[in-house]
Structure 1
Amino acid sequence: MKASTFVKAATLAAAASLIFTGCATGGGGGSATNGKAVWNEPTASLEGVTLTFGGGAVSDAGLTQVMDAFSEATGAKFEKVAYPDPYEQSLLTKVAVGDMPDLAAWQPTASQLTTLQPSKNLLSLDDAPWLDDLDPAVKDVTGFVGDTRYAALVTSPSVMGVYYNKGLFAQYGITEDPANWDEFIADAQSIKDQGGVPFYEAGGDMWPTQWWPQVQLAEQAQDGLWERVNTNEEQFTSPAILDAITEYKSLIDDGLFNADIKTATVIDQANAVLTGEAAMAVQVNALLLQMQSVSDTETIDANVGWFPISQDGNIATSIPDNKNGVVAFHTGDAEQEAAAAQFLNFWMTDGYADYIEAANAVSIKPDVQSPAGVPEVAKLISASLGTSVGSMQSLAVANADLYLNMAKMIQGTQTPEQVAEATQRQFAGLAQAQGLDGF
């Protein structure tokens, strides 16, 4: 799992600012489609058409399968465009000068879609033919900027939650999932008191650190926290967010984490929970994918469980990544735009069952069964989306580098207050670049 899957705001700021200041030359509403996707039949002939697809992380096996199937059905060809890491920054730089692929994998959150200046550069997918066939619990979870849908959701979105080792829970006498944050921490303390390692954090990879404050904020996110942050009514320095950051630091100081928290990686984290070196990890779907890369479904099902956690209950926090979403660009070439939309239509209709099978992913269409090899944890995660709340990345107007500052706190170079202050400064700068009121 590369850190670029969860976009680094600092590395994107310069590229995004080119778009916000009007340097992009693509799109602009000059084509016959006027920025709205045209939905031709999924298998209509596209002989002689070549579609470019910008890299990213949309399940390589599944993407290859659906591309091959579409080519066979329509005669279209594909050119995969690889962008240097960090992928998102490289693609934004290209978009800023009008050099866009026809389609690209992209994190379908409001903050990341906004960096593409979607009203100018992306096709609206509001009238996509497959929308009514999606699971109602996930249909409208993500993909929007304002009221306009700009991303196609192709797999079940990633979710923040707690992965745990079933054997260790049994060993330490934990027979039920905790029902709120206090019970969660009480279970962790019980594990520590009995000589175990309650939590495992991948501080060396840095990006996972941001999940800890976010899961604590689920109820407040439901109550409009990020909307208030977006208008500068609240800040990262306000008590709600600062207290969540401080709580995480306190848990570290209390010795509830792995001793090598400063250097441990997500690979280490996956192995620790899978093998029982540690009891729990707060993570997103990336941890399951890492487990699947080193183990099989039977072993994962036998050893790993999952539950959502929030301050007052078990509200999940969704964080779609670029494995989940695809965008189609408004290039100004009506034929290419229609072909790109047709590919999305095929992907999500005629080609979806075979795609999900090849990707070994949870289906988001009730009439298409998930493959038999999907781990039970993946099904639990997907089922939590019906009562989930959006993450900072989903609901805030910009994705500031909270995780970098959190990682500095783990290393001992920033206090919780400094984490909040640094994150707020960057968030305000990104909001100003978008011309938002209040900043």
Structure 2
Amino acid sequence: MKRSLVLLTAAVLVAGCGGAGGSAEAPQEGGGSPAKVEIEWWHLSTADPLKTLWAQRAKEFEAKNPHVTIKATVLENDAYKAKLTTVTQSGQAPDLFATWGGGVLQQQIDAGLVKDITDDVADVLPTFTPAALSAYQVDGRTYGLPTDIGVVGFWYNKKLFAKAGITEPPATWSAFLETVQKLKAAGVTPIALAGKEKWPGHYYWAYLAMRIGGLDALKQAATDHDFTKPDFVTAGQQLKALADLQPFQRGFLGAGYGTADGQAAVMGNGGAAMELMGQWAPATQADAGEGLGEDLGFFPFPAVEGGKGSIGDAFGGGGGLAVGADAPPEAVEFAKYMTAMENHTKAVEAGGVLPVLKGEEEAVKDPNLKQVATMLAGATGYQLYLDQAYPPAVGQQVNDSVAELIGGTKTPEEIAEDITEVAMSEG
């Protein structure tokens, strides 16, 4: 969600890939040179700084391991999900691929498509933070190396806020709705949204459900599959109240995320005052548009008055590298190389990702990203993106239903029923 821009890094305190030299052991061909190996690597880092950094890492690994060729497939978020779903449904998986963990990874594990790499990465596991690792571990076994972790929050244009006479970010939902109205009154488009891609819209409903029902409501729904309870309906009603204010940019229903006229570009070019997005937002804004520099600020999703959730509860996720069940050993070694401290720290310093290992915090230079990292460190609870936390069909229905609510074609009650129907069938 473009969660995609930041989902392919992490770091460890030792140099991976067979030790500091980064060379992978391979079977010998006729007692001489190692047998040729091709690694099929799928990732989503379509913009800099990560696009260039990952290409450099691949070339470095190939130079250290002349018998290895890395074939990278780089796709936008939605295209990636669609292609990976098609391939995995056929019983196959790339050698190395981006994962967000959660229910989607669990389904791939259950289908026997993902390698258990616990023993292969035992030497580096202690160097990652527990929070970063948790999404890729099941029953004490490890199925991926974390590459990023962060939270979703509001990125805002300080100059446009000042134009509307807004002196500080809103801390409550009612104040947020008032902020939207003030911005509109000042002739400013309040919010940029990639309506076409749907996943950015689900952030609003998920956060409102968290703030109103608390984290326990989302966890309970994963068990009883019931999204028709009052707290979920109320979340939909509050999102409808926002949509009724017509806060989004003109043509938002057909807008992508990272495209030249998409959500990130609208925000980066000063065409809207806010966007609800993850920690990768500044880099994407600068890549798709001009970027806001010092005019860019960040604030957490507001508290909802009377809600059971805490404003300290965070919603988001990171990303990791999963290894296909039939992948060659070199795929694991490349994952370790990608996640070596000296490699990953460069991505953190460039503002592409946040730390996922112990002791890497000082590499965060951007003040807004430091704020995100601080928020993450002090989070009272954490919820993974709903389209990854729940089984794929349920997550897709959440995205589709929220898009229908925002677009005005379904009511809060109807989308609650639709999501529940799919969840019940999957459960």
**TM-score range normalised by the length of the shorter chain:** 0.7 to 0.9
SS of aligned partner of 1:121: coil
Q: Percent identity?
A: 21
CA distance in 1, matches of 2:401, 2:231: 17
Q: 1:224 aligns with which of 202, 216, 220?
A: 216
Normalising by the residue count of structure 2, what TM-score does the alignment of the two structures yield?
0.77
Aligned residue pair count? 386
Q: Unaligned stretches of 5+ in structure 1?
A: 7-37, 432-439
Q: Which residue of 2 aligns with 1:248?
A: 239
SS of aligned partner of 1:407: helix
CA distance in 1, matches of 2:199, 2:322: 24
- More displaced, 416-425 or 376-385? 376-385
- More displaced, 363-372 or 49-58? 363-372
CA deviation after TM superposition for structure 1 residue 343, in Å = 1.9
CA distance in 2, matches of 1:397, 1:252: 27
Q: Which residue of 1 aligns with 2:124?
A: 130
Decide whether aligned partners of structure 1 residues 220 and 342 sit closer, same or farther in structure 2, where only a CA change above 3 A counts.
farther
Q: 1:356 aligns with which of 347, 352, 365?
A: 347
Q: Which residue of 2 aligns with 1:293?
A: 287
Do structure 1's residue 404 and structure 2's residue 391 form an aligned pair? Answer: no
Q: 1:43 aligns with which of 23, 33, 37?
A: 23
Q: Which residue of 2 aligns with 1:317?
A: 315
Q: 1:283 aligns with which of 259, 277, 296?
A: 277
> 1:64-104 CA deviation, whole Å, 9 max, x = no partner?
22222222223341242649984334334434444443222
CA distance in 1, matches of 2:205, 2:53: 33
The answer to whether the Cα contact below 8 Å between 1:229 and 1:396 also exists between their aligned partners in 2 is no
CA distance in 1, matches of 2:419, 2:5: 19
CA deviation after TM superposition for structure 1 residue 162, in Å = 0.7
Q: 2:136 aligns with which of 113, 136, 143?
A: 143
Q: How does 1:411-422 map to 2 (within 5 A)?
A: 411-422=407-418
CA deviation after TM superposition for structure 1 residue 43, in Å = 3.0
CA distance in 2, matches of 1:139, 1:383: 15
SS of aligned partner of 2:43: coil
CA deviation after TM superposition for structure 1 residue 293, in Å = 1.1
> 1:240-286 CA deviation, whole Å, 9 max, x = no partner?
22211221111121344445443444344334333443222222346
The residue type paired with residue 237 of structure 2 is T
The residue type paired with residue 421 of structure 2 is R
CA deviation after TM superposition for structure 1 residue 210, in Å = 0.8
The residue type paired with residue 281 of structure 1 is E
Decide whether aligned partners of structure 1 residues 158 and 393 sit closer, same or farther in structure 2, where only a CA change above 3 A counts.
farther
Root-mean-square deviation over aligned CA pairs:
3.5
The residue type paired with residue 219 of structure 2 is E
Q: Which residue of 2 aligns with 1:198?
A: 190
> 1:285-317 CA deviation, whole Å, 9 max, x = no partner?
464343121456xx5322211122143525331
CA deviation after TM superposition for structure 1 residue 327, in Å = 0.4
| Structure 1 consecutive aligned stretches of length 4 or more whose deviation exceeds 4 Å | 1-6, 81-85, 219-222, 357-360, 366-372
CA deviation after TM superposition for structure 1 residue 370, in Å = 7.3
Do structure 1's residue 347 and structure 2's residue 327 form an aligned pair? Answer: no
CA distance in 2, matches of 1:360, 1:223: 29
The answer to whether the Cα contact below 8 Å between 1:237 and 1:421 also exists between their aligned partners in 2 is yes
Q: Which residue of 1 aligns with 2:157?
A: 165
